[in-house]
Amino acid sequence: MHVLKTLLAQVKEFTRDSILTPIFMLVEVAMEMVIPLLMASIIDEGVNKGDMHHIFVIGAYMILAALVGLWAGMMGGKYGARASAGFARNLRKSMFANIQTFSFENIDKYSTAGLVTRLTTDVTNLQNSYQMILRMGMRAPASLIVAMIMSLYISPRLASVYLIAVLILACVLFLIISRVTKIFDYVFKKYDDLNASVQENISGIRVVKAYVREDFEKEKFQKASGNIYKFLLKAERILACNAPVMMTTVYTCILLISWLGAKMIVTSTFTTGELMSMLTYCMNILGSLMMLSMVFVMITMSVANANRVAEVLNEKATIVNPENPVMEVPNGDIDFDHVNFAYKKDAEEFVLEDIDLHIKRGETIGVLGGTGSAKSTLVNLISRLYDVTEGKVRVGDIDVRDYDLEVIRNQVSVVLQNNVLFSGTIYENLRWGSENATDEECQKACKLACADEFIERFPDGYDTYIEQGGSNVSGGQRQRLCIARALLKQPKVLILDDSTSAVDTATDAKIRKAFREEIPGTTKLIIAQRISSVQDADRIVVMDNGRIDGIGTHEELLESNAIYRDVYESQTGGGSGDFDEKEGE
């Protein structure tokens, strides 16, 4: 019921269309039910008695009823299509809007492929089901009930044949639905695996081709696709039983009605017109049952879709604005006050443990550590991409949880490890940092990030089109564009999360020099693997296993910190210079 309420709330402005559709379907049913009675009157009162006036008059009524029924059916189709398409549009819009509010913690619960499936396949199935319910869901039971009443009115004895047929078909339908429900529930979850396989292959197609793994990828896709095929085939085989049972029942009813009706006509207790009406109502009743079976099958298929869509709609962001948020970040001071953090509330161990770190505005802080030392997790807490489990993170002496989310994230600019560019020109990508940035401001930011060097070599300069994901620029160029984009925000805190790893050391040094000279008042946190990238920082934080192993200047750490000293010696003495290797020795 909760799922149904969630979905129906998305009908919104299409409520009128959703109400008009079943009304028009009822009008169509009424016209269809009148026609057999008129036909019986023509045969009994007109044909049998040779009354041509009666035939013409009743015939005109039949034509009128048919035209009204046709018009009602067309209107039902029109409003039903509009209501279902609008319902699907609202579902996608609301889901996408809700996804945009998700924190990283929310996003971690769903796979990308799973969200794409819910926005596409699941919503399409719900759209088809909604239209089926509005039209057939109203028409079929109404037609069935009215036809049964009319049949009982004409001949209760013959109408009992229909009652038996309805009970038989209802039992068969129940057995079929009970068996296929679980199958469809399983199948739609497997669509996530299929989409994941496609997404992974396309995003990594260069690696696939470089390692000549096309056959392996084909086999993996065929396995995911074959799994869906196998279970859908099983479900369809069960559903296929519905048609022969239905048709057998229909023809049996026709034979019984014809046989019993003929006997009654011979004994003069029944008329030919009434027999014709009963046969017509027979087709209406059994046709309605077939429609109902289709509606139930469609609903059965869409139950799993409904649950998956409602799950995303009902997902509440774990990070939201406070009631009276602070709307201004006073300065770039950063304080970690005995912070503990775990990605899951019930986790046995913390990812970050007892982090006590105080950074003054304008400082340049280097953050070093091996893979898995929680460097990225540490800086993600500053812009409130995650909330601390215990302790406090303050920016400008104010808890980050007290800020308006947009305000804190605009003033704490993060260049993440995954450098993502979007399809569009370089100018359009840069203006993600500031929508109203002028061309001069964009160019200045690119100069600071040393991106102007390669942009000016492009034939179209800043109007060069960037392909999706930045696939037509190199890794280093992509990193510099992302840094420029972050600088356009003019933040009080700038975080570079291993964002110069693909840049040569000379360019890296230029970027750091530009930061020192051009944005001295901005607090800068630089996560890096190369000690050369942070050795001129005001202080360097060495992370190890989610804890701070040491804090100090380059010279101080060389004297006091074993991890830092070992890595420095390996990087300057011809070794690998790998944090993980040194930690493992």
The pTM is what? 0.71
Contact residues for 272 (Cβ-Cβ < 8 A; gap 6+) = 43, 44, 48, 265
Average pLDDT estimate for 165-177: 79
CA atoms within 13 A on the CB side of 553: 5
**What's residue 583's pLDDT?**
43
What distance, in Å, lies between the first and last C-alpha atoms of the chain?
59
What is the spatial distance between Cα 293 and Cα 180, in angstroms, rounded to a whole number? 13
**What's residue 577's pLDDT?**
54
Is residue 373 a contact partner of residue 544, using CB atoms and an 8 Å limit? yes
Average pLDDT estimate for 174-197: 76
Both tokens of 568, joined, read 């420095």
Q: Which long-range contacts (CB under 8 A, 24 or more apart) does 218-225 make?
A: 221/194, 221/197, 224/190, 224/193, 224/194, 224/197, 225/194
CA atoms within 13 A on the CB side of 528: 27
CA atoms within 13 A on the CB side of 371: 5
Distances in Å between the alpha carbon of 93 and those of 6, 122, 123, 131, 286? 14, 14, 11, 19, 40
**What's residue 580's pLDDT?**
56
Nearest to 95 by CA among 114, 68, 72, 76: 114
**What's residue 360's pLDDT?**
94
Q: What angle do CA 387, 388, 392 make, to 5 degrees?
A: 115
The 10 Å Cβ neighbour count of residue 318 is 14
Please say if the pLDDT value at position 214 is more than 90: no
The CATH architecture assigned to 2-314 reads Up-down Bundle (1.20)
The CATH architecture assigned to 364-584 reads 3-Layer(aba) Sandwich (3.40)
Please say if the pLDDT value at position 398 is more than 90: yes
Mean pLDDT, the chain, as a whole number?
85
Is residue 59 a contact partner of residue 39, using CB atoms and an 8 Å limit? no
**Domain residue spans of the chain:** 2-314, 364-584
Average pLDDT estimate for 323-352: 90
**What's residue 578's pLDDT?**
57
What is the spatial distance between Cα 280 and Cα 389, in angstroms, rounded to a whole number? 70
Q: Which residue has the higher pLDDT, 269 or 13?
A: 13
Identify the weakest region by mean pLDDT among 142-151, 186-195, 380-389, 534-543. Answer: 186-195
Is residue 491 a contact partner of residue 412, using CB atoms and an 8 Å limit? yes
**What's residue 582's pLDDT?**
47
Is residue 433 a contact partner of residue 489, using CB atoms and an 8 Å limit? yes
Helix (H) or strand (E) holding 393: strand 390-395
Contact residues for 284 (Cβ-Cβ < 8 A; gap 6+) = 32, 33, 36, 143, 144, 147
**What's residue 579's pLDDT?**
57
Nearest to 401 by CA among 382, 420, 421: 382
The 10 Å Cβ neighbour count of residue 458 is 14
Identify the weakest region by mean pLDDT among 73-82, 275-284, 534-543. Answer: 275-284
Placement of tokens 């429609």 in the chain: 291
Nearest to 413 by CA among 394, 432, 399, 397: 432
What is the spatial distance between Cα 262 and Cα 257, in angstroms, rounded to a whole number? 8
Helix (H) or strand (E) holding 55: helix 52-101
**What's residue 404's pLDDT?**
93
Distances in Å between the alpha carbon of 45 and those of 58, 158, 272, 516? 10, 22, 11, 103
Q: How confident is the model at residue 542 (pLDDT cuts 50, 70, 90)?
A: very high
Please give, one letter per residue, the 3-state secondary structure of 403-455: ECHHHHHHHEEEECCCCCCCCEEHHHHHCCCCCCCCHHHHHHHHHHCCCHHHH
Helix (H) or strand (E) holding 337: strand 334-341
